Chain A
Amino acid sequence: MAIFKLQINGRSYQADVEPDTPLLWVLRDNFGLVGTKYGCGIAQCGACTVHLNGEATRACVLPVSAVGKSKVTTIEGLSVAGTHPVQQAWDTMDVPQCGYCQAGQIMTAAALLKRNPKPSQAEIDETMTGNICRCGTYHRIREAVKLASMSSPAGTIKSSKTK
């Protein structure tokens, strides 16, 4: 066991855990940030996607000891009031069925739009193919990413932080 200090959603957190504990379980078990989901544990499904310094990262295979000073953003911190363009687009397109994978989908989409604000459909497909939705909401996921890319002028999408 060791103490790890983490920067998550603009706040400081501290956990006393084994160094190899995946960030996913520290978020969930230690910090109560349960929006980040467990789906496979081997970085295959994307349900655990968070941002590490703005990059989409699979929290289920990232040991807490490897996070260091990196800034972590989870679905809870993507926006203060759930109004990130991607979150809004997800609601507008009524994407969720069961909803379990959607936090990971949203985080993947938000990271894509941050680095590429106007992706082509091929680029959307290539990125979002990494996330499994067992309900099959893929059509709406694709449309929601397109909508989010249209609803915000190029370059304005940022992962806003909670205070």
Chain B
Amino acid sequence: MQTIEHSSRRGFLKIAAATGGGLILGFNWFESEAATATTTAAAVAAGADFNSYLSISPQGIITILSPNPEVGQGIKTAFPIIVAEELDADWTKVVVEQAPLDTKKFERQVAGGSGSIPHSWERLRKAGATARQMLVGAAAKRWSVPGSECTTEKGFVIHSASNRKLSYGELATEAAQLPVPADVKLKAVKDFKLIGTTVKNVDNAKITTGKPLFGLDFYREGMLFAMLQRPAFGYKLKSLNAEAAKAMPGIVNVVTFDNNVAVVGKSTWQVKKAKDALKIEWEKADALESTTDHNRLFKELLDSSNATVRRKDGDVETAFKNAAKVVRAEYQCPFLSHAPMEPMNFFAHVRPDGVELVGPTQTPELARNETAKLLGITPDKVSVQLTRMGGGFGRRLKADYVVEAVQVSKLVNAPVKLIWTREDDMTGGSYRPAVRYRFEAALDAQGNMIGYKLRGASINAGNATREDNFPAGAVDNLLIDSVDHKSPITTGPWRAPITNFLAFAEQSFIDEVAQAAGKDPVQFRLDLLNKAKQKPVGAIKYDIDRMKGVIDLAVEKSGWGKKKGADGKLVAQGFSVYFSHRSYVAQVGEVVLQKGKPVLQKVYSAADCGVVINQSGAQQQVRGCVVDGIGHAMYGNLTFKDGMTQQKNFNEYRLIRLNEIPEIEVHFVQNEVDPTGLGEPSLPPAGGAVANAIFKATGKRLRSQPFVEQDEFKGVS
């Protein structure tokens, strides 16, 4: 058992375990000052430890550890729901705690790729079901009846025949000592009582009262604050004059490493002011790139003879030669900042015997491993405690800011909280890469798509395509390739990596092809899917029936093609459907013209993510994804001048606001398929649904993001 020996100002809660003779340390530095009644009860109770996820106190308080990082995707609520379902727990008695990084107890402690739910679904169910069976075993033993005669409900084992029942709390100590059953029966989906209901975010009470939860909220007696001045992309440190900064009040030290200058002091503001007082000379060390360079470069890359072929079916050249009609179009998307509301930050304390890390990370294991590598120590010397994250959107999949905190702590030999300002966040990388796509489609005389070509040109995106996505498999002759430019500008995964822009381009282009073929955009897609079903071409990596399922649902709910407005005219609707991160989502956007300008009024979203675990969480994930998708398609734009971003804060980098959101209607396909994650899949189709609706309303194709900078929107505030 992992024990962590340190004290913080807020203190740890120690929970004595009834079994194993060890201690479970509840990481509760945030909670001791204003614990709710339930958490206080949990803290004083001796909890019997059933497995990595679960302990039950004699008072019946069920503590469920949630191992995966909480970034706003709702995992800290969804994971315990799954455990509690199979346990038949009383949800009001459940206390959820964030587990620290523990690779012995848990696997894949990652918030990314919408992968937590599919990865942990069965593990969590088994954790709950195993404990339930042990509780039944303990009750059966006490009553001297067969376990098969016992049932469970809301925290009780019940023996109906003799009208007896015992609470989980009463049974916990005995039950935890029973042998762990090797094989347990899981519930049928139809028997779920908690899964699929509306469950509120388990941290609501703390969030709405301002309790410390986030990385930036972590304070430790005696810790120092640090900020870095980093070079723009392509520059290195030439000289530093830190005299003025060092003389400022509260400043403890100014240190340099890896072309960064770190100011360390006793408060955030003192450090910020001293950072602004640094006199630094930078010199050119690499290409100093600007957006104008990238725009020129895209044209070269699209004509390059050095593209990497990602997928090739049939003979595209012949298909295009024989085509009755050819459609060509190019689409472009800019760099974006992740811009989570909580900027990057981390607490690090490098000591002779090991390293303590506390903060917001989507990949704690990577943070630990990179720290160990940097310091030349073994990973077991590094502990990582996870705080709630004020968003991440992929930015915290990187550990650069964690390693910075470690560097500074080591250099100044003190516990340090490293803080990025918003300006640091926007100028310091990493970003969603910029891309440009060229699409070509060949149609025969009947309007069938007989050939399809896609080239992705990108800045630091690697493969900017997803070559096996629809319409691959539905077109006899297909060529998908990509070409990438290596830039000093750092990029990384940004919520729904690649597909967050690719889906907009693909789904808009498919719309263009449908129009050229003289077909309804939905029917055109369905025809392709039917063809893929009947005569698949090459490997098909998506489920055709599930994709058709969400299309049908979106068509039904939106009244596709038939819906009329108050004026009696057909509403301008745009369609989009996408498969990403194991889920299927179809969306319909509706646009009206106000004073000649397009206004997005409504989005219908139909998703198939298998079993919905939490209605409230799932609905909001979809809605949030749509807002994110349309917000960035409409407004998001990060441009560069000589290796420096031209936007440095929210006054220059526009995020969608409350008065800009459309109505969003969320629907789910009801089935019993194992659930998949919802943190990303509803984002990719949003841009296409909007762009296609705008086309319907205005006759103009928007092929470049952000839309707000296109002519159709000029003059709109």
Interface residues of B in 201-225 (CB under 8 A from A): 201, 203-205, 207-214, 216-217, 219, 225
State the Cβ distance, B430 to closest chain A Cβ, in Å.
Answer: 17
Q: At the interface, yes or no: A117 with Cβ under 8 Å from chain B?
A: no
Residues of A within 8 A of B655 (CB): 132, 134
CA of A98 to CA of B422, assembled, Å: 18
State the Cβ distance, B221 to closest chain A Cβ, in Å.
Answer: 11
Nearest residue, chain A, Cβ from B204: A91
Q: Is the CB of B627 within 8 A of A138?
A: yes
CA of A81 to CA of B275, assembled, Å: 40
Nearest residue, chain A, Cβ from B72: A98
CA of A103 to CA of B356, assembled, Å: 29
Q: At the interface, yes or no: B89 with Cβ under 8 Å from chain A?
A: no
Q: Is the CB of B341 within 8 A of A76?
A: no
CA of A100 to CA of B387, assembled, Å: 12
**A44 and B649 contact, Cβ closer than 8 Å, known pairs A35-B211, A142-B658:** yes
CA of A55 to CA of B647, assembled, Å: 30
CA of A143 to CA of B194, assembled, Å: 25
CA of A44 to CA of B657, assembled, Å: 11
Query: A57-92: contact bitstring with B at CB < 8 Å (1 yes, 0 no)?
Result: 000000000000000001110100010000100110
**A134 and B340 contact, Cβ closer than 8 Å, known pairs A25-B267, A98-B388:** yes
Nearest residue, chain A, Cβ from B423: A41
Q: Is the CB of A37 within 8 A of B201?
A: no
Residues of B within 8 A of A39 (CB): 341-343, 422, 650
Query: A117-159: contact bitstring with B at CB < 8 Å (1 yes, 0 no)?
Result: 0000000011011111111111111100000000000000000
Q: At the interface, yes or no: B284 with Cβ under 8 Å from chain A?
A: no
State the Cβ distance, B98 to closest chain A Cβ, in Å.
Answer: 13
Residues of B within 8 A of A82 (CB): 205, 208-209
State the Cβ distance, B130 to closest chain A Cβ, in Å.
Answer: 30
Q: At the interface, yes or no: B503 with Cβ under 8 Å from chain A?
A: no
Interface residues on B, range: 35 or more
CA of A137 to CA of B552, assembled, Å: 27
Residues of B within 8 A of A133 (CB): 341, 658
State the Cβ distance, B627 to closest chain A Cβ, in Å.
Answer: 3
**A21 and B269 contact, Cβ closer than 8 Å, known pairs A32-B219, A125-B659:** yes
CA of A19 to CA of B648, assembled, Å: 26
State the Cβ distance, A78 to closest chain B Cβ, in Å.
Answer: 8
Partner of A100 from B200, B391, B627 at Cβ < 8 Å: B391
CA of A11 to CA of B368, assembled, Å: 41
CA of A128 to CA of B661, assembled, Å: 12
CA of A127 to CA of B649, assembled, Å: 21
Q: At the interface, yes or no: B480 with Cβ under 8 Å from chain A?
A: no
Nearest residue, chain B, Cβ from A36: B210
Residues of A within 8 A of B225 (CB): 29
Residues of B within 8 A of A91 (CB): 200, 204-205, 208
Nearest residue, chain A, Cβ from B345: A38
Q: At the interface, yes or no: A17 with Cβ under 8 Å from chain B?
A: yes
CA of A39 to CA of B624, assembled, Å: 19
Q: Is the CB of A136 within 8 A of B657?
A: no
**A99 and B661 contact, Cβ closer than 8 Å, known pairs A18-B269, A132-B650, A138-B627:** no
Q: At the interface, yes or no: B101 with Cβ under 8 Å from chain A?
A: no
Residues of A within 8 A of B342 (CB): 37, 39, 98, 100
Q: At the interface, yes or no: A40 with Cβ under 8 Å from chain B?
A: yes
CA of A135 to CA of B621, assembled, Å: 9
Interface residues of B in 649-664 (CB under 8 A from A): 649-651, 655-659, 661, 664
Nearest residue, chain B, Cβ from A34: B217
Residues of A within 8 A of B229 (CB): none
Residues of B within 8 A of A112 (CB): none
CA of A83 to CA of B200, assembled, Å: 17
Q: Is the CB of A98 within 8 A of B268?
A: no
Q: Is the CB of A22 within 8 A of B269?
A: yes
Q: Is the CB of A135 within 8 A of B205?
A: no
Q: At the interface, yes or no: B511 with Cβ under 8 Å from chain A?
A: no
**A99 and B203 contact, Cβ closer than 8 Å, known pairs A17-B267, A75-B209, A136-B628:** yes
CA of A161 to CA of B58, assembled, Å: 37
Q: Is the CB of A134 within 8 A of B341?
A: yes
CA of A30 to CA of B268, assembled, Å: 10
State the Cβ distance, B288 to closest chain A Cβ, in Å.
Answer: 27
Q: At the interface, yes or no: B74 with Cβ under 8 Å from chain A?
A: yes
Partner of B339 from A134, A138, A139 at Cβ < 8 Å: A134
Residues of A within 8 A of B620 (CB): 94, 97, 137, 140
Most A C-beta atoms less than 10 A away, residue of B389, B390, B623, B661: B390
Interface residues of B in 328-362 (CB under 8 A from A): 339-343
Interface residues of B in 614-667 (CB under 8 A from A): 616, 620-621, 623-628, 631, 649-651, 655-659, 661, 664
Residues of B within 8 A of A126 (CB): 659
Nearest residue, chain A, Cβ from B266: A29
Nearest residue, chain B, Cβ from A126: B659
**What are 8 pairs between A and B in contact, CB < 8 Å?**
A38-B268, A75-B208, A87-B208, A91-B208, A128-B658, A136-B623, A136-B626, A136-B627
Q: When A and B form their complex, which 5 residue pairs have the shortest distance between CB atoms, in order from nearest?
A: A35-B210, A100-B390, A98-B72, A136-B627, A75-B210
